Amino acid sequence: MNEAGLREELAKSVSGASEETLQRIVFTVYALWVLQREYEEKEEEWQMIAKKGRAYIKQQGYAGKIETLFKIIT
């Protein structure tokens, strides 16, 4: 897992975010990644949580695709 690369990408994209906010975004991205990767067959059960997580990341100023962040993780 490439947390440093993920943090770097987010720091560029979410300007002015505090260290705490960046850390929350990183945790949210990891949570979404795990849900998608490990529990894809149960998507109906977690899709509302994922929707809220994606909305949170966008509210913090990230305008890119979440899947781009997933590629950085792997």
Q: What are the structure tokens assigned to 8, written together?
A: 């770097």
Q: pLDDT tens digit string along 30-71?
A: 999 999 999 999 999 999 999 999 999 999 999 999 999 999
Q: What are the structure tokens assigned to 49, written together?
A: 């949580």
**pTM of this prediction exceeds 0.95:** no
- Residue 29: the pLDDT is 97
Domain boundaries, the chain: 3-73
Task: Check: CB of residue 49 under 8 Å from CB of residue 34.
Answer: no
Q: What are the structure tokens assigned to 27, written together?
A: 């945790």
Residue type, 55: A
pLDDT band at 19 (very low <50, low <70, confident <90, very high): very high
